[in-house]
Amino acid sequence: MTGTGQPIRVVVVDDHAIFRSGLKADLAADIHVLAEAATVEQAIAAVSAHTPDVVLLDVHLPGGRGQGGREVIAGCSGLPGQVKFLALSVSDSAEDVVSVIRAGARGYVTKSISGHEISDAVRRVAGGDAVFSPRLAGFVLDAFGTAEVAVEDELDKLSARELEVMRLIARGYSYKEVAKALFISIKTVETHVSAVLRKLQLSSRHELTRWAADRRLL
Amino acid sequence: MSVKMYRSPERMVAGVCAGLAGHLGLRVGTVRAVMAGSCFLFGAGLVFYAWLWILVPLAGDDDPSGTPQPADDGAPRLKLFRPAPAGGIRAGGGAPAAGSASAPRGASVGLREILIGGALVVLALVLFSARTGVNLDLGTVVPLGVISAGAVLAWMQLDATRRVGLLNAAKMDTPWSIARFAAGIVLVVAGVLIIVTGSGSWALVWASVVASLAVLAGVGLVLAPWALKFWRDFQNERAGRIRETQRAEIAAHLHDSVLQTLALIQKRADSPQDVSRLARAQERELRSWIYQDEGKDPGKLVAGIQAACAEVEDLHGLPVEVVSVGDAELDEATRALAQATREAVLNGVRHGGTAVSVYVEAAGSGVDVFVKDRGAGFDPGAVPPDRLGVRESVVGRMQRNGGTAAIISSTEGTEVRLHLPARPAQADAPAGNGKATNGGDKK
C-alpha cells in the first residue's frame, strides 16, 4: 500500500452521473479525482490526458465497439507509466468479472461496496496489489478447480497456499483476517493474490477455456 | 474475441479504407496509399476494394440478418435497460438511400470522384488498347461505360448491408456456390443462344451473346435497386416486429417487478429498513433475471441455499452474499445441509446484526459450507445448555446426517463451518462423530 503522504490520483469512468458524484463523495480525502468520463472514447481521452494512478472503471459503458470497460483497458494499453484499472460493476456475472480481469484490470468490486472499502481497494490497487471480492475468488476456484497441487510456479494451477487464500477470501475474510488465519503477513497474502491474478490473466489452460466457453466468455 | 469490421461513415468513397485502418489499427493515410498503389498491380486494389465494399457492412447499420443480436460480447442483456435510441425502429419505407443517408456529404463527394475516376479509367483503357493495336470502336466502349456508370450508381444508392442479406438468403455465402451459380447462368445463356441462332457460326453466336447479355444486364440493373429496396423494407419490418415483441416483454416484466417495488418504496419512504429490504429484494430478483448463470442448475444444492438465503434477507433486510464453487445433487443429507445453512444464516443475521457471507464448496470429498458474520461474537460455552436453537438446528442436524459442524466465535465475528462428506464415507460414518467443538446457542 502507498503511504499516506502522496495523494492517489484517480479517474472515474461510469456512464451514470449520479453514481459518479456519489462515488466521488464516498472516496477518502487522500484520493483525488482528476477527471470523469461517461463513454469509452471519453474514458480513453481522459486517461491518456491525465495518466492517473488508478482508473475506477465501470464494466458496462456506451460508445466504442460496444465492449465497454475492456475496450478502455485495451485503448489505454500504450500509455507510458503505470495506470492501473479497478473494475466496478453492478453485475457480478462470470462473463463481466472474468473478461474484464483478463483484459488487464487489477481488481473487481461491485458497486454496492461501502465508501471505506472502495477507498481501501483503490489504495491497494495503486500499491500494485490485486483486489479480489469474495465472488471473484469463487469464480477463480470454480475455474481452476479446488484440487491442490504441489507445484508453485505453474500457470495452469493454483498452489496449495493460493488455494487456501482464495478459499478464505471467498468465505468473506478480509486480507487482514486471512493473514491472521494462516499465520502469515498481510504482504504475503497480497503476494499470493497477485500471483493468482497473474494466473487468471495469463492462463490458457484447458479447463479455464472450457469453463469460459460454458459461460460463453470466448 | 474478434471484432467485426465495419466501413467507416467518415469516408472518401465507401469508407473501406477508413474501416480497414480502424480494424487493423493502422493510419488511414497509409491504408489509402497502399490501396491506391495496389490498383496498379493488375487492378488488385480495385478488386479488393470492390470486394470489401460489397461484403463489409457500414458502421451503425443494422445487422444484415435483421434479427436483433442479444449477446455479442460481454455486455449483453443489460443493454436492454438503456433507453432505446430515438426512433429505435427504423422507418421502413421512407428512405430510398438509407445506407448513404448517414453521411450525405461524404457520399456525394465520393459519387463525384467515382464518376471522374471511372471516366478516366475508361479513357485510359481506350487509349491503351488503341496503342497495342486492338481495335475497339466507340460503339462498344460508350455503351459499356454507360452500363458501368449505371451499375455504380445503382449500387451506391443501395450502399448498405442489404446486398449481404440478399446474397445470404440465396445461399451465396461461399465462393463455391457463387461459382456454381455463375456456371449455371453461363450454361443457360449458351444453350438459349445456340437454339436461337440455330447455327454454328461463331460470329453470329458471339453477337447474340453480347446482345442478350446487354439486355439481361440492362434489365437487371434497372430492377435490382427495386428488388433490393423491397428486400430491405421487408427486413426492416421483420426486425422492427421482433424488437417490438422484445420490448413489450421487457416492459411487462419491469412493470410487474421494478415499478411495483418503486411504488412500495415511495409509500414506505419513512422506514429506512423497509426501503433497503425492498430495494435489496428487487435487486436480487432483477439480477437473477438479467444475469442467469448458465453454469448453475436449479433444483440443486446451491440453488436451494441461495433461495434460503434470499428468504432470510427478505425477513431481516440484511444482505446475505452467497458464493459457490461446484454444486451437488439435492438428497436427504444435502437438504438437511441447506436447512442447517439457513439456520446458521438466520442466527448470524439475528444476533450478529451485520451482512453475512456464505461460501459453498462442493467437491469430490464432500460439501463444505461456511457462514460468516461480523457481529460482536459470543462465547459458545457460556450459553445455557437448555437452549435449543443452534445446537439442535445446526449441530444436531448435521450430525444426524453424518456431517460435522463447528462454531468459531470471536469479538470480530462468528463463523459456522459445516461439512458433509460425500456419500460412500457417509454410509459408514456413525451419527454423532461430529467434532462440534463449540456447539452452543446464541439466544
The number of beta carbons lying within 10 Å of the beta carbon of residue B27 is 10
Q: Is B293–A171 a contact, with Cβ atoms under 8 angstroms apart?
A: no
Looking at beta carbons, which residues of chain B come within 8 Å of A210? Answer: none
Task: Determine the pLDDT at residue B111.
Answer: 61
Q: Tell me the residues of chain B between 226 and 285 that have a Cβ less than 8 Å away from chain A.
A: none
User: Which of A99, A131, A163 lies at the terminal end of a domain, its last residue?
Assistant: A131
Phi, psi of A54 (to 5 degrees): -135, 140
Is there a single domain that holds both residue A139 and residue A207?
yes
Residues A162 and A60 in one domain: no
Q: Same structural domain for residues A151 and A92?
A: no
Chain A hits for B377, CB-CB cut-off 8 Å, are: none
Specify the CATH number for the domain of residue A169: 1.10.10.10
What pLDDT sits at residue B293? 54
Q: Mark whether A83 and A143 lie in a shared domain.
A: no
- What letter would DSSP give residue A6? S
Q: Is B92 helix (H, G, I), strand (E, B) or coil?
A: coil
Collect all residues of chain A within an 8 Å Cβ-Cβ radius of residue B294. 214-216
- Burial grade of B124 (CB within 10 A; 0-12, 13-18, 19 or more): exposed
Q: Give how far Cα A106 sits from Cα of A130, A133, B305, B313, Å.
A: 5, 12, 31, 31
User: Smallest Cα–Cα separation from A44: which of A9, A14, A8, A71?
Assistant: A71
In a domain, A3, yes or no: no
**Position A200, amino acid:** L
Chain A residue whose CA is closest to B2:
A218
Angstrom distances, CA of residue A116 to CA of A20, A76, A199, A210: 16, 28, 28, 37
Q: Do A172 and B321 touch (CB under 8 A)?
A: yes
Which residues from chain A sit within 8 angstroms of residue B74, using beta carbons?
A: 59, 67-68, 70, 95-96, 99-100
On chain B, the residues whose CB falls within 8 A of the CB of A146 are: 325-326, 361, 363
Which value does ipTM take for this structure? 0.78
Which one-letter amino acid corresponds to residue B168?
N
Please tell me whether residue B360 adopts helix, strand or coil conformation.
Answer: strand
To the nearest whole Å, the CA of B283 is away from the closest chain A CA by 10
Burial of B164 by CB count in 10 Å (0-12 exposed, 13-18 middle, 19+ buried)? Answer: middle
Flag if B76 and A135 touch (Cβ within 8 Å): no
Answer whether B370 sits within 8 Å of A177, measured CB to CB: no
Tally the C-alpha atoms within 13 A of residue A154's C-alpha that lie toward its C-beta: 11
What does the alpha-carbon distance between residue A177 and residue A36 come to, in Å, rounded to a whole number?
34
The per-residue pLDDT for A59 is 85
Residue B104, CA atoms < 13 Å, CB-side half-sphere: 4
pLDDT at A3: 47
Contact B323 A138 (CB under 8 A): yes
A49 and A103 in a single domain? The answer is: yes
Among B73, B74, B325, whose Cβ lies nearest the Cβ of A142? Answer: B325
Judgement on whether residues A52 and A125 belong to the same structural domain of the protein:
yes
Best of A96, A102, A171 to mutate (most B CBs within 10 Å, chain B): A171
Cα–Cα nearest to B356, from B340, B367, B344: B344
**Partners of residue A94 in chain B, C-beta under 8 Å:** 293, 295
CATH fold of B293-428: Heat Shock Protein 90 (3.30.565)
Alpha-helix runs per DSSP H in A51-174: 69-75, 94-103, 115-126, 134-144, 160-170
For chain A, the domain total comes to: 2
Residues A140 and A172 in one domain: yes
Instruction: Give the Cα separation of B220 and B232 in Å (integer).
Output: 17
Choose the closest CB to A134 out of B71, B321, B415: B321
In percent, the amount of chain A with pLDDT more than 90 equals: 7
- CA distances from residue B64 to A184, B9, B167, B239 in whole angstroms, order as listed: 58, 17, 10, 10
Same domain, A91 and A119: yes
pLDDT over 60 (residue A186): yes
Domain boundary among A131, A152, A172: A131
Residues A28 and A111 in one domain: yes
**Nearest-CA neighbor of A27 among A86, A84, A72?**
A86
Query: Are A167 and B361 within 8 A, CB to CB?
Result: yes
Better-scored residue on pLDDT, A170 or B146: A170
Of the candidates A79, A101, A131, which is a domain's last residue? A131
**What's the confidence (pLDDT) of residue B433?**
39
Is A141 within a domain?
yes
Where exactly are the structural domains of chain B?
Answer: 16-247, 293-428
**Domain carrying residue A12:** 8-131
pLDDT tens for B273-311 read 888 888 888 888 887 777 665 445 567 888 888 888 888
What span, in angstroms and rounded, lies between the C-alpha atoms of A133 and B45? 52
Question: Average pLDDT over chain B, rounded to whole?
Answer: 70
Q: What is the b/e burial string over A87-118, where b = at least 16 CB atoms within 10 angstroms of the residue's CB?
A: bbbbbbbbbbbbbbbbbbbbbbbbbebeeeeb
B357 touches chain A (CB under 8 A): yes
Residues A122, A154, single domain; the answer is no
- B74 to A70: CB separation less than 8 angstroms, yes or no: yes
Residue A197 lies in a domain: yes
CA–CA distance from B201 to each of A39, A153, B15, B194, B211 (Å)?
A: 70, 81, 47, 10, 16
Alpha-carbon distance A7 to nearest alpha carbon in chain B (angstroms): 30
**Exposed, middle or buried, A183 (CB in 10 Å: 0-12/13-18/19+)?**
exposed
Query: pTM for the full model?
Result: 0.57
| pLDDT tens figures, A34-86 | 888 888 888 888 888 888 889 998 888 887 777 778 888 888 877 766 788 99
A114 lies in the same domain as A163: no
**pLDDT lower than 50: segments of chain B:** 1-2, 62-108, 157, 160-161, 294-295, 425-443
Q: Best residue in B322, B325, B414 to probe A by mutation, most A CBs within 10 Å? A: B325
Residues A95 and A50 in one domain: yes
Is B347 within 8 Å of B313 (Cβ atoms)? Answer: no
Residue B412 near chain A (CB below 8 Å): yes
